[in-house]
Structure 1
Amino acid sequence: MRTILVLILISCPFLLCGQQFPDFKPARYDEDYSFLENDTVSSWYKSLKYKKIGKKAYVGFGGDFREQYLIKTNEGWSSELEDGDGFTLTRWLFHADLHLSEHVRFFAELQSALANGKDTPIPIEENPLEVHQFFVDVTPFPKIPLSFRLGRQEVAYGSQRLISYRDAPNSRRAFDGIKMMFAKNNIEADIFYLHTVVDKVGIFDDSSSPDLRVWGLFSNVPLTKGGLSFYYLGFNNAMAIFYDGPGIENRHTVGARILKKVGNWQYDVEGAYQFGSIGDRNIEAWSTGLAVSYRFEGLKYSPELGVKADFISGDKNPTDQVQQTLNAMFPPGAYFGLAAPIAPSNLIDVHPNATFRLSDTMSFLCDYALLWRNSRTDGLYRPNMTPFFELDSGATSRFIGSQLSGTLMYQTYGHLFLGTGFSWFDAGQYLKEVTEGKNILFGFVSAQLKF
């Protein structure tokens, strides 16, 4: 509560700038404040976001501070990791955006992620100080909308099922590499080759992994009130571990997604197929996802009711030469919520959900998820795609469990975001066969300030 009050006080000066600014982007490097060159209103915040330093050169600064208090009972469906008083996750990001000309731009960002009150924090929770992003953009041809990005950078595509920012846990994900970007008439296409940046619990010690890399093509074509995406992703992991054994993994993913809005209806459909090899085993994996929602604009609070469903392949036989487990590669880290961080692999899930807009600044979201194993001969995976448990041939149930969640979000001043919520994970028969099968209760309070 003290942190929330402090952030409210800190956010008050942003009210004094007297100007309207665009909404913050999920990736801060996508924000463009060059329009401020012709803005005649003077304010300290304008000077922070846009400072001319030459005929065509300017620099801007920004940041993000987030504090979360979390409490979780029976983590991992076990009483061994019981934490009675919870813990806090603190993260701050600070960036500088330097445009030397229309053709050259540098972007740099520092990140600090801290976990307080947790006995054994993992690197994505505790990473005291690191160069999170540092890249240069070059646009060499004045009449061709083609740019090249080289260096450390955040990357996310589409629904973020396979490549995400990983915003929820604490420390956001970064990659080292090169990307070529084309954008014209709302048609976008990226070609990239990237190495994963390994999170380490130290200061300025994160490094590029030679053993974990991704490359590919992502394109997006606009439709009337929607969009159509196509992608190819290549993936290499020199130290892959699955329930049917370790090996060098060379995996290829082809997929497509269509997002469409028709009246008050919205549809989101995505499918992907994976092939390649893990050691001497061939890969044959797939996934399909569907989300449908309808917004009742004439009713109080404009309720939006929807349902999501995923069908994601798992391995059918751990002793044969074919591997059917879908690799989510770089998922969000909280695909089904922070209460039970399960990777979207070997799963069937159905999520009825509802959103209520209580006011212009406040909304309430609730979700009920039902989870099953797709294959009885494959287990569950953590978000980093390592097995959750030992493979137990005696565990025959498909039903993993159900999860009820609710979140109340409040946005004020355009800079301050407050949230609180809970999740109740009711362990199903499968979890009772391989763990203590304890139910998980998770709650959080969050405050975030962006500038």
Structure 2
Amino acid sequence: MRYIPLGDGPAYLSIGGEIRYYLNSWEHLRLGASPDDHLVNLQQRLRLDADLHINQYVRAFVEIGDDREFFARSITPPNRDKLDLRQAFVDIAIPLSDTVKLTVRPGRFEMPLGNGKLVGLRDGTNVRFGYQGVRATLINTGRFRIDSFLVKPVTYGNAEVFDDKPQEGTHFNGVYASGLLSPLATLDFYYYDVKRPLGRYIDGSGDEARHSFGTRLALRANGFDFDGEGTYQNGHTGNQRIGAWGALLEGGYTFAGVPLAPRLGAKINAFSGDSKRGDGKVGTFVPPFPRLPLYTDASWFNFSNLINAYPSITVKPLKTLTVVAGPDFYWRENRNDAVYFGPSTFPLLSPSGASRFVGTNLNLQADYLVTRNVSIRFFATRFLASDAFKGGGGKSANYVGSWIDFRF
């Protein structure tokens, strides 16, 4: 159903979609911060899309979806959304020269940016992040790409069909520029402007305007890979000033010429917390629309007030099978701030005592590409809570999840 010609001209239509079933089991969804937080659910994601290319200058794309959640005793809102319009946009391409093109996209669309960590898809739930507004992309082939956008996040409603709409009192505006330093290295700069009706932290809450200024360097050469990113944030939450920062580092080396093609890698991420209560300043870092999970598929933690170090080994028993394992260690960046819950900016709990150590995840992940259209993912982790985390009411926990995904 791809590239169906429409008449004798350049127009063609492609039909596609996705069917995904995702089984999850949390021993403690909120790591003991809420009573009786055991959860087992089965997510069902259904998608159908149509991609119409009228000519080399005009394209229209529409995607509808239906999302269900079974067996869950407590509702996970991003998993439940009756039949609705997921994406609907038009691309208008304007050639400016032989190598430079401007594409304007009005409508509703998904929008991962950069490496997809701070602005990602949210693929761990049924409903991905969606935005409504306009996006403009300027591309100079082989040299640079600049994305600018003025959008509102799209809500998800389960009351009626086709009831999703832009969120009131919010916006997400910004610019993301990426330049090619060499065939193996890129340097990016970005600015994000996020407005939310409520930011809630250990030191207070209120309407929030948060600005993120960042840069990213990515390179790959001779078996080595590196991705480093730094972000500074300012703005306000209620009547308090924001001053926060984040750093994301990831790298490794792949032994391509030996059996299993092992890769030794490491991730080190650090996100600021609030150092002093009542000082009129919020130091807690909050990502705009983060990829969850950044740490594990359990999605227990957000990017706020957390440092983690994750050494790992990756092997490929088959060309289509990738296995990753390793321990992931967590600390609070600042002992005066809380640990924050994964799907939100809300505090999860406050560990006791002076120790900043939160705990350790023991992770195992496997991704298997069964065919060109079918993939399977498995993830298991054991969280070992520190004494300080237990002293604040937290618990150790297990998580196991697996999905089968069919795309056509």
Where on the TM-score scale, by shorter chain, does this alignment land: which range? over 0.9
Which among 74, 81, 94 is matched to residue 127 of structure 1?
Answer: 81
2:154 is aligned with 1:154: no
Q: What's the offset of the Cα at 1:442?
A: 0.9
Are 1:176 and 1:208, in contact at CA under 8 Å, matched by a contact in 2?
yes
Distance in 2 between the 1:60 and 1:242 partners? Answer: 46
2:92 is aligned with 1:138: yes
Are 2:83 and 2:162, in contact at CA under 8 Å, matched by a contact in 1?
yes
Distance in 2 between the 1:174 and 1:61 partners? Answer: 20
Are 2:150 and 2:172, in contact at CA under 8 Å, matched by a contact in 1?
yes
Which among 276, 288, 310 is matched to residue 351 of structure 1?
Answer: 310
Q: Who is 2:123 aligned against?
A: 167
**Cα distance change, pair 201–430 in 1 and its aligned pair in 2 (3 A):** farther
Q: Is the helix fraction higher in 1 or 2?
A: 1
Q: TM-score, structure 2 length as denominator?
A: 0.94
Structure 1 residue identity aligned to 2:236 = S
Are 2:302 and 2:345, in contact at CA under 8 Å, matched by a contact in 1?
no
Q: TM-score, structure 1 length as denominator?
A: 0.85
Q: What's the offset of the Cα at 1:340?
A: 4.2
Are 1:357 and 1:364, in contact at CA under 8 Å, matched by a contact in 2?
yes
Q: What's the offset of the Cα at 1:289?
A: 1.7
Q: Who is 2:57 aligned against?
A: 103
* Superposed structure 1 runs of 4+ greater than 6 Å apart: none
Distance in 2 between the 1:336 and 1:160 partners? Answer: 13
Q: Deviations over 1:231-276 (max 9, x none)?
A: 1111111222222111221111111111111211111111111111
**Cα distance change, pair 373–139 in 1 and its aligned pair in 2 (3 A):** same
Q: Who is 1:192 aligned against?
A: 149
Q: What's the offset of the Cα at 1:142?
A: 6.3
1:431 is paired with a residue whose SS is helix
Q: What's the offset of the Cα at 1:94?
A: 1.2
Distance in 2 between the 1:68 and 1:105 partners? Answer: 32
Q: What's the offset of the Cα at 1:155?
A: 0.5
Distance in 1 between the 2:261 and 2:94 partners? Answer: 47
Q: Who is 1:8 aligned against?
A: none
Q: Who is 1:113 aligned against?
A: 67
Are 1:331 and 1:383, in contact at CA under 8 Å, matched by a contact in 2?
no
Q: Deviations over 1:30-70 (max 9, x none)?
A: xxxxxxxxxxxxxxxxxx11112141221111111111122
Are 1:130 and 1:206, in contact at CA under 8 Å, matched by a contact in 2?
yes
Q: Aligned runs of 1:18-37 on 2, under 5 Å?
A: none
Q: Who is 2:19 aligned against?
A: 65
Q: What's the offset of the Cα at 1:298?
A: 2.4
Q: What's the offset of the Cα at 1:419?
A: 2.3
Q: Aligned runs of 1:276-315 on 2, under 5 Å?
A: 276-315=235-274
Are 2:275 and 2:334, in contact at CA under 8 Å, matched by a contact in 1?
yes
Structure 2 residue identity aligned to 1:341 = W
2:400 is aligned with 1:443: yes
Distance in 2 between the 1:63 and 1:340 partners? Answer: 26
| Structure 2: tracts of 5 or more residues without a match | none
Are 1:129 and 1:204, in contact at CA under 8 Å, matched by a contact in 2?
yes
Structure 2 residue identity aligned to 1:310 = N
Distance in 2 between the 1:257 and 1:94 partners? Answer: 34
Q: Who is 1:379 aligned against?
A: 338
1:326 is paired with a residue whose SS is coil
Distance in 1 between the 2:54 and 2:335 partners? Answer: 57
Which among 376, 385, 397 is matched to residue 427 of structure 1?
Answer: 385
Q: What's the offset of the Cα at 1:433?
A: 2.0
Are 2:170 and 2:195, in contact at CA under 8 Å, matched by a contact in 1?
yes
Q: Deviations over 1:5-54 (max 9, x none)?
A: xxxxxxxxxxxxxxxxxxxxxxxxxxxxxxxxxxxxxxxxxxx1111214
Q: CA RMSD in A?
A: 1.7
Q: Deviations over 1:297-326 (max 9, x none)?
A: 222101001111012111111211111111
Structure 2 residue identity aligned to 1:50 = Y
Distance in 1 between the 2:47 and 2:243 partners? Answer: 40
| Structure 1: tracts of 5 or more residues without a match | 1-47
Distance in 2 between the 1:108 and 1:329 partners? Answer: 25
Structure 1 residue identity aligned to 2:210 = R
Q: Deviations over 1:402-422 (max 9, x none)?
A: 101112221122111022231
2:276 is aligned with 1:322: no
Distance in 2 between the 1:242 and 1:395 partners? Answer: 19
Are 1:115 and 1:126, in contact at CA under 8 Å, matched by a contact in 2?
yes
2:77 is paired with a residue whose SS is coil
Distance in 2 between the 1:156 and 1:293 partners? Answer: 23
* Mean Cα deviation higher: 287-296 or 74-83: 74-83
Q: Aligned runs of 1:128-277 on 2, under 5 Å?
A: 128-141=82-95, 143=97, 145-186=101-142, 187-202=144-159, 203-222=161-180, 223-277=182-236
Distance in 1 between the 2:73 and 2:85 partners? Answer: 25
Q: What's the offset of the Cα at 1:282?
A: 1.3
